Amino acid sequence: MQFWALCWAASVALAGALAAEPPAGDHVEHHDVKAGKYGVDHHHTRHDKDEEHHVGHHGKKEHGEHHGKDHDKDHHHGKDHDKDHHGKDHHDKDHDDDHHTKHYDHIKYTEKHDHDLEVKNLVEHLNKIAYRFGDLEHKLDERKDPELLAKAGTLEHRVEVIEGGNGCERTDYFQCGGNDPQCINNLLVCDHNKDCRNGEDEEDCDLHIHVGDSFVGDSIFDHCTQRRPDHMTVTFTAIKNETFFPGFPKLAATIDMEYETDHAEGHVTLRVKGGYSFARNRFIFVAPEADRLGFIGQFDGSDFDHFVGTIQPEATQIPCAKFYFRRHTEDEDEE
């Protein structure tokens, strides 16, 4: 019984030894032990195993040292790699800074270019406006030309005559005109005080006839004068401005006539006196002869080189003769 117990214990120990995984260096020894079963020297094998174990252990040391050096080299290589990587990052940062700088410069250039273009366009626009303003001013100056203004005034006067007056109910009233019509007494015109709301009564108070001025008239019709002249000349000999009535200067003139009728012919000079009305742009001569025919010279208010002269009885004030007068010039005397 003890023998079988020992055998059973030996088999269990052997099974446990076989079940355990041997280390890598013991694999050859296990093979040798198995081969010793067929007559291999167990002692020699053990010696070889010790020597192999020594060599293997020395080899592992060298392998460790070699692996350590290689690892340190790889680690150094890693530092170089990090350095390279850091350099790359620095390069990328410089590249980004350069890119941002170029982008900012481009924005500044674009803004400056847009600003310059805007200024250029503005200058061109102002030049066009200045040209148009100059052209308009030139056209307005042309409209202010005295000849054009005279023609316009003449037409306006003719319209007033056709319409029967200046819009005031009384003939001895002055029309201020404009967008706010107003009538004032003729005595208030050119009295050095503005009586019209728009000041029109003091606008044109210059007398356009002077001492020595002559006007030659051609007959349009004559139904009442004694001599029935074809032509007559009115020459102003004196002009006096009254302080009390500044709007009615006193005038003196001569009327010269060449005449020829069935009964007589000859030359006559009539001396006349009268006054000028700024309110009505006309002058009146009191009748110089017993026939009591008065004389009225009517300017149109714009053209003072021409006037229409009418002759009418003081009693009826109905025109019976009409002459058209023009200013006599020195050129006509030279001819």
For 23-35, write each residue's pLDDT tens digit: 444 444 444 434 4
- All structural domains of the chain, each given as residue ranges with its CATH number in brackets, are 147-202 (4.10.400.10), 213-328 (2.40.128.620)
Per-residue pLDDT at 73: 47
Task: Output phi, psi for 145, to 5 deg.
Answer: -55, 130
For 304-314, the pLDDT digits (tens) are 999 999 999 99
Residue 86 to residue 71: CA distance in whole angstroms? 22
What mean pLDDT comes out for the span 118-124? 85
Q: In this model, does residue 217 exceed pLDDT 90?
A: yes
Per-residue pLDDT at 321: 98
Q: In this model, does residue 120 exceed pLDDT 60?
A: yes
Residue 36 to residue 43: CA distance in whole angstroms? 10
Amino acid at 303: D
- Contact criterion met (CB below 8 Å) for 279 and 202: no
* 0.75 exceeded by pTM: no
Going by C-beta distance under 8 Å and a sequence separation of 6 or more, which residues neighbour residue 195?
Answer: 184, 188, 189, 201
DSSP state for residue 287 in the 8-state scheme: -
Q: How many residues does the chain have?
A: 335
Nearest of 313, 312, 310, 306 to residue 323 by alpha carbon: 310
Q: Which helix (H) or strand (E) holds 257?
A: strand 250-260
What mean pLDDT comes out for the span 190-214? 94
